[in-house]
A = this chain, B = another copy of it.
Amino acid sequence: VDTYLAVDIGGTGIRVAIFPEEGTQALAIKRISTRGAGTPLERFYALLNEMWPVNDHVRALGVAAAGPLDTRAGIIYSTPNIPGWINLPLQSMLEERHHVPVILGNDANLAAVGEWKYGAGRDHKDLVYLTISTGIGGGVILNNELMLGSRGLAAELGHIVVDPSGPTCSCGLRGHLEAMASGTAIGKRAAEQLAAGRKSILAKDPPPTAKDVSIAAYQGDALAVEVLTKAATILGKTLADFAHIFNPSIFILGGGVTQAGPIWFDAVNAALKTGVYDPGYLIDLKVVQAELKDNAGLLGALALARQLAHK
């Protein structure tokens, strides 16, 4: 029978899954850690060999990887936590090795594709996906097409300035959305406020994580509510900017921070509503939580592989 392989490569783990012709239920799936005996590439190759279906035909292979890569050229420019992967032509390497069509995609982009094809974004032509966890990544579907840009570097939605006097981002620049609304930003801001002498139950077990802040907020802790609401408000205002830029019919929010519940979600929605300059942007606009969780990138890689095979 015909099958598809989907791969998700991250700095900590590599997953390979086999899917049938249709549906999102994997026939087999295995995860290994990226580090261990051998290089990450050797480990990845060994996992592929082990998982490769012997009796079934593989129609295409889709690969989701973190970091800047060019899906059209099939090259990974660099990927976090795998220092050796610089300008790696992984697509042609895999095509030569396995003699099947291969397609690469940025993990946040592919998570957007996964949600669009199989998750919360079904039936939407224009969607903006954001993953809000330690960092903030994005993926955008416009008129049923993944936005890639001229070199495949588009949709880095965490790296736009939302406050020029804001804190420094992981990328080194100032006031980016990621530096103000990510899980990391929430933890840091809470820690700063504690250091400045603010009273809070968060002081018991420093440094606070975003999860600690969110739990404390639901216990009524004033500082935690303030920090969580501030991060959500900044995100919601930025969603209003994205509405003006993309005019999507749905925002899909994934990543750990979206587990923070209604205090966070209500503040996001309120800031979005007051942040659009014309009510037309809110007509039929949905803001929802991602459905596919950790499988979004893998299912996006599956979607691209199926698309590739049917071209």
Chain A interface residues toward B at CB < 8 A: 68, 77, 124-126, 142-143, 145, 147-157, 159-165, 169, 171-173, 176, 237-238, 240-241, 244-249, 275, 277-278, 280-281, 283-284
Contact = CB atoms under 8 A, between A and B. Distances in A.
A99 to B, nearest CB: 29
A180 to B, nearest CB: 10
B68 A173 contact: no
Nearest to A274: B173
Among all A-B residue pairs, the 6 with the closest Cβ atoms: A149-B247, A171-B277, A150-B249, A160-B241, A154-B247, A153-B247
Contacts of A246: 147, 149, 154
Contact of A164 (B77, B126, B163, B244): B163
Most buried by B among A149, A150, A284: A150
A53 to B, nearest CB: 34
B161 A241 contact: yes
8 contacts: A68-B280, A126-B154, A142-B145, A151-B280, A156-B245, A160-B241, A162-B164, A173-B275
